[in-house]
Homo-oligomer: A and B are copies of this chain.
């Protein structure tokens, strides 16, 4: 079943490590966990009219003669909107939630495209209004989360759709969306193809196309981007508003390391949904992966619900997409295939109770431990530990217990009452390495 990735135990440990880091940063920032049902009414899923999502319909096998009424969610924003609309009176606003769940899209599977994949979403939703500070906070969160993952340094690229919409208005363009979608492809298709699209495809004057490309080339780590935009000579109120907002966000995050955040005016996000700040991220040396974490500001989470608008700002991390890339290339690896830190060797059936007692004593101190199931020769028991990457084998003996570190082979006498492993060995660790450091025999 292509497009439905599943990990081996050692790969799943890497995924868990990612999810733990994501959760930890989210909670430090005060985001509450949310899990919504996987299934939504189809009427709710199709309400945006976004038919290219390749929805999966769900119905009971015995009800196949009827038209399906349910579908699997294709993102975590549509369920959030429904959840917030239904429970508005029970939530405290601004409502900050993170949500880590699979989503489903019936797309043709290909490199980096899955039909079932895990996303991690963060959103802050206001009731009626939401200060611009939330847009800056989201930059900070994005930077921290992405750089807490065992990956190359990640920078956050910020832009503002009002800049593009105002620019379009000043140039007398009706369909700003078409231009924005073209600019969004700049990385993929290059400047010449975009120019051709603007002039040949959309019928823009060559000078205007040039202005767009000069706008899209602006990329600055400080407020100098404002002067660069102004130097293009295009004037519009909405454009000014966008520059002000973007300046605020950049200024409010200036305490981050130099280069952590860039105003990058080619970032526009294809979705019409976004109305202000938009975010992308770039993984150093892996820019071809695209943006592993993206998002933006929206005016109303659930426009068709009625009541005061629910403005919000959010980002989404493509967890499976990143993992798919770096697990298959063997750049991300876990130090073992199991949480077990100590394998207690079983010398004989008679010593089983004693061995179970050793494992229990270790577990009571927080050391993951298990007893080998059968009293086979020690060589086989040690090999089993080795195959799973378990660092220690414990040998119980009436003459005294001992523990072997099977990486170094050194074996020392120990006491059941107080022996502890190296703290670094308590849990599996996860390592990232550049592609050129992956041994050839391990390459995926």
Contacts and interface: CB of A to CB of B under 8 A. Distances in A.
A34 B12 contact: yes
Given A130-B373, A338-B96, A61 B42 contact: yes
Interface stretch (A208-216, A226-234, A352-360, A399-407): A352-360
B91 A9 contact: yes
A60 B64 contact: no
A13 B33 contact: yes
Which of A13, A37, A67, A87 is the most central at the interface, judged by chain B CB atoms within 10 Å of its CB? A37
Contacts of A347: none
Given A59-B56, A387-B92, A9 B34 contact: yes
Which of A15, A35, A369 is the most central at the interface, judged by chain B CB atoms within 10 Å of its CB? A35
A57 B56 contact: no
Interface in A325-376: 337-340, 352-353, 356-357, 360, 363, 366-371, 373-374
Nearest to A32: B9
A31 interface: yes
Contacts of A32: 9, 12-13, 337-339
Q: Which range contains the number of A residues in contact with the other chain?
A: 35 or more
A71 B337 CA distance: 30
A369 B28 contact: yes
Nearest to A69: B1
A186 interface: no
A388 B1 contact: no
A199 interface: no
Contact of A38 (B106, B116, B337, B384): B116
B60 A58 contact: no
Contacts of A61: 42, 54-57, 68, 71, 106
A129 to B, nearest CB: 8
